[in-house]
Structure formats: structure tokens, C-alpha cells
Structure 1
């Protein structure tokens, strides 16, 4: 019996010693393969992905990256004067992400002011005219949930307003398939609004919506739409419709 016990103990000790030696051998073998032959890992897309640079935020936050000559009207007086509340003929641009108006005072001197401190900005646009961007808080209704500025396209009985903004389109990278992008991207969007007596309402352009909105001049508007056939999804077409209505 004692002999059997000693035999079992000897077997256990030998097994542990072999296991330790095997582990050390495997560790050394793996190290040698990495150091001298480059460890070859199969390309299994369900398990491994290709390591690359982390994603970043791309895209521009500016309505227009180009500096444009403009006039800025503030709510309060400027510190340099007790009467002046505006700047004229200064290079400006709108940062839609930070909700700021940037003013370039020199090559490397850029001032930023929160949109909430600016009543409106008149700035040259890409259409060869001047656009007025007025603080959304000059309006009520749906405007109260917004930040930034409305571009005023038509003024009168009905104001036609365009609200520019940016949002982040999140990365859609698929690790398993190694497809898509790791980058978040700033995307621009513009929403239409109309206002009567400063009460702004979000607006989805279309013939039915326009005739309902302008029901007090429905016959004249129907004739105008039939004759002129304006593109009701375009800036030019809507401007023509609202300008005509406001003259009636």
C-alpha cells in the first residue's frame, strides 16, 4: 500500500514538472517565432480587425468658410463707444456648431461673439446679393426651440425664413467586415420656416401647403402657380412665391 502511495506521488510530481517544462517551452517557442519568423495570424474577420487610427470629427462648422464683408448689429452698446452698437464693413462668418459670429480684425486676430449677443448680421452671399441673418429670438412660436439665426428671404405679411444648422453624423465603422468610416462628420442642414406677426412655424414647401398658408389670396396664388410654375423646393422658386403674395 505504501508503495502504491509513493508511486502515485511520484506520478503527480512528474506530471507537474512536465507541465511546467511544456509551458516554458511553449512560451520560448512563441517568443522565438515572434522575434525571428513573425507570428502568422489567420485573417479571421469575425475575430480580428485591422488596427488603424482612431476616428475624428471631420467637416466644416461654418455656413461659409470664406470671409465675407458684413455688418453686425449687437443688442448692447460696444465697449469702445457709448452710442455705437454695430460694426460695418468687417469680414465675418457664422460658426453654426459653436453658435458664434466670427469677426476678423486682422490677419491673425479673430474675435468670436456668441450669437445670443447679436441681433442680426448682413453679409454678402453666394447669389451676389446681401442676406440678413436675424437672431431666432426675434421671433416667437417654433423659433423659441431654436438657436442661431434665420436667414430672412422675404418680408411682409408672411416672412420666409431659412434656418441653417449643423449636426453630427456618427461613424458607421463595422469591425467584423472592416467597412464604413471611423470618422464622425459635421453635416449641414437648412429648414424652412414661415412667420406671420413674428410667430414662426416650421414649413414643408409644396403646392397644398402654400395654398393653405395663403388662403386669403387663394385664387391669385393658384393663377400665379399655374402660370409661373415655380420650383417649390428651391430657394428661387419659394422667394418668387412669397414675394408675389406679399405684394397682393
Structure 2
């Protein structure tokens, strides 16, 4: 009898201690996992995301954000009543995303006019002179596929035109590699066009392209290029060649 009681007491003590030992073991195992420093987490774009602020649209859609003094001449359309067909000396700027001329009429009052309603707008430029912008729809051929404005850099028998435009470069952030940018960005483009009799075609500046374009005065243009050595990749250089051609 005494032996049976001793056996029961031993079994009771052993089973009572097991949960405590198990708890201590599990706690240590958990601690070991937390302290494990060689764990490698695979970059998986479908599973993980990178914490941080969301991307935004940076930059601006304006040819020049600064309000510049300008003169605006409107197309008068049938059925539209205006007290004047022009405005002089008003603050203006060009929005290339909406193809509008913005006119500042007061401290907080801004009017917007579509390019198709504009005959021209003259604006002070960063070159210390005045730039004239007209609707691309004043020209034909390749201009018919465009929107917005042409800057008339040189006018004459052969017009030199510049077409400013804007597009949005999409964010290219790579979650897996943690590279790139989360931000979309406005990007500006300045394309050259030439026009004869209002028929515009895109133009890539270069000596060969110029000589083909000005074939009727090829000898004179070759002599001018050799003597003056204008930079055909620059605005001033192209302007000089077209001014010379139109005066011959």
C-alpha cells in the first residue's frame, strides 16, 4: 500500500512540472527565432510593398511659369460678342497641357483661352526679345496632327517654327529592387518645323537637311555655313541661317 502511494506521488510531481518545462522551452525557441540574424527575405513585388509616401506629379505644364507681359489677338467667331479683339500689356503664360493662353486679369482672376481662339500672342522671352505664338491650326500638312502652338521664330519664304509640348513621364519605381522613382513628372519637348506656304513639316537640324531644304540657294547657303559657322543645334544658329536665306 505504501509503495502504491509513493508511485502516485512521483507521477503527480512529474506531470505537474511538464507544462512549465514545455513553456520555458517554447519561450526560448521563440526568443531564438526573434534573435535569428541570418534570415534572408526574398524581394517579391507581388507579396511585399515598400513603406513610404505615395508618388506625386512633379514639375509644371507651362512653357514658362513666370507671368510675362504680352499682347493677345483673338479670332472673332460668328455669334461671339467681344468689346475688343485684342489685349495689350497683360500678364500671360502658355499652358502646354491644356493648349491654352492664361491671362491674369486680377490678383486671383485668371482667364484661359484655347489656342484655336487665338490669332497670335506676343510674349517677352528669356532671350531679351519678343516671341510670337500662333495656333498650329493656322498651318497645314503635318501641323494638322498637332495641338497647341507654333512659335514663329523666323518668317518669310521659309518659316522656322518651334512646337513646344509637354508629356508626363510615368513613375518607374521597382519594388523588388527598391530603385527608380514613385513620382510622375512633366517633361517638355521642343520640336522644330519648317513651312512653305503654310505647309509645315518636322525638321531635324543639320547641314545636309538645310542644304536639301534650301536647294534653290544651295551655293549661297554653303558659303554662309563655311564663313559664319553657325551652330546648327542652337536656336541662334538656325535663326541666323533662315534669316540669311529669306533675305537672298
Separation in 2 of the partners of 1:104 and 1:60?
18
Q: Is the 8 A contact 2:115 2:134 kept in 1?
A: no
- 1:108 aligned onto 2:104: no
Aligned pair count? 211
Alignment of 1:121-132 (within 5 A): 121-132=121-132
Q: 1:80 to 1:216 in 2, by over 3 A?
A: closer
Query: Unmatched 5+ residue regions in structure 1?
Result: 1-28
- 1:54 aligned onto 2:57: no
Structure 2 equivalent of residue 70 of structure 1: 70
Separation in 2 of the partners of 1:116 and 1:80?
16
Q: Is the 8 A contact 2:96 2:148 kept in 1?
A: yes
Separation in 1 of the partners of 2:188 and 2:155?
25
Structure 2 equivalent of residue 133 of structure 1: 133
Query: Unmatched 5+ residue regions in structure 2?
Result: 1-26
Structure 1 vs Structure 2 CA RMSD:
2.1
Alignment of 1:165-204 (within 5 A): 165-204=165-204
Separation in 1 of the partners of 2:94 and 2:108?
17
For 1:66, what is the secondary structure of its paired residue?
A: coil
- CA deviations 1:104-125 (Å, max 9, x no partner) are 0111111111112112110000
Separation in 2 of the partners of 1:244 and 1:138?
25
Structure 1 equivalent of residue 210 of structure 2: 210
- The TM-score with structure 1 as length reference comes to 0.80
Separation in 2 of the partners of 1:67 and 1:103?
9
Please identify the structure whose Cα radius of gyration is greater.
2
Structure 1 equivalent of residue 43 of structure 2: 45
Q: Is the 8 A contact 1:49 1:178 kept in 2?
A: no
For 1:222, what is the secondary structure of its paired residue?
A: helix
Structure 2 equivalent of residue 17 of structure 1: none
Separation in 1 of the partners of 2:217 and 2:99?
38
